[in-house]
Amino acid sequence: MQSSDETDILATIGTRGSPLAQAQAYEVRDRLARAHQVAPERIAIKTIRTSGDAIQDRPLFDVGGKGLFTKEIEEALLAGSIDFAVHSSKDVPTFLPDETWLPAFLPREDVRDVFISPRAASLDDLPAGSTVGTASLRRQAMVLRLRPDLKVNTLRGNVETRLRKLDAGEADATLLALAGLNRLGLQDKATRILETEEFLPAVGQGAIAIESRRDDDRINAFVKAIGDSETEVALSAERSFLALLDGSCRTPIGGHCRVDGDRIYFRGLIISPDGTESYETVREGIRADAVALGADAAHELRERAGEKFFTLFAGA
């Protein structure tokens, strides 16, 4: 018989119920189990249905933004029914409740988007008038910037659902994150990988974030054991950039920070939803200046675009 200290639950993870969210939660659980040399079963996983999962018939920016994927999980965290949450970083709102923070990020997966279509080998090859399905305003805007002759419609749902909708002919093509496909073992579904130079990813894309209560010293020490410093530096620059550009789902924003030793390289973009107006900037600096570098890039774009750029699309 096992002793109680071998079977007691050490911590409970809160996560969404999609296959990708579950895969991410199990990856966190397994990494923690290895880091602390405990049985994986001693780290429980609690599935929480979020508003973002429940609402499938409208774009996120029409119903409150990406925070709909974290709201109920954060409520469970604050109530103490879970010890920490596992999120896709790009789903985490720019501003968290005062009582929570992001103490750790896992090593980042591939940040790139992929083009998927049964009808064309690339975005360039789609016939004029073809329909690209996506729930992302950033992807919509970047598609229309490259191909204003295409149509974009809303394609909601988890990765598998969107792939099924594509097979059913609801769109001629779609765009997804390569990181999600990799984590689900579906990377063979990608028709073409889009390089970041041509298709800038969302802030936080490819990174798994852990959210916990600031005052929970035991859990914070527990999860920091699997934190990746390079991802933390990159995300601090990207989230700083996002925070000063509103960070809502109303303004399409792309941002990516690459870490190379002590140097960081950042590129940021804001773009109108129809793809006709865009502003980009780049920064290079040292790791210690990541937050300031992201903020400086945001200030530049806000000044260049003017406040009208942001208010123009706020009610779109």
Burial (Cβ within 10 Å: 0-12, 13-18, ≥19) of residue 263: exposed
- Burial letters for 145-175: b for 16+ Cβ neighbours within 10 Å, e otherwise? bebeebebebbbebbeebbebbeeeebbbbb
Contact 252, 137 (CB under 8 A): yes
> Are the CB atoms for 99 and 108 separated by under 8 Å?
no
Strand partners, 210: 86, 104
Q: Tell me if 183 sits within 8 A of 23, measured CB to CB.
A: yes
In whole angstroms, what is the distance from residue 39 CA to residue 27 CA?
14
Active site residue 215: no
Please give the radius of gyration of the chain, using alpha carbons only, rounded to the nearest integer. 20
Cα-based torsion angle of the residue sequence 55, 61, 64, 67 in order, rounded to the nearest 10 degrees: 90
Q: What is the DSSP letter of 68?
A: G
Report angle CA 57, 202, 271 to the nearest 5 degrees: 85
Query: Long-range contacts for 186-192 (Cβ within 8 Å, ≥24 apart)?
Result: 186/159, 186/160, 189/114, 189/116, 189/163, 190/114, 190/115, 190/116, 191/114, 191/115, 191/116, 191/117, 191/120, 191/121, 191/122, 192/114, 192/115, 192/121, 192/122, 192/123
Check 91, 113, 216, 296 and give the catalytic one.
91
What are phi and psi for residue 73, nearest 5 degrees? Answer: -70, -40
* Residues labelled catalytic: 91
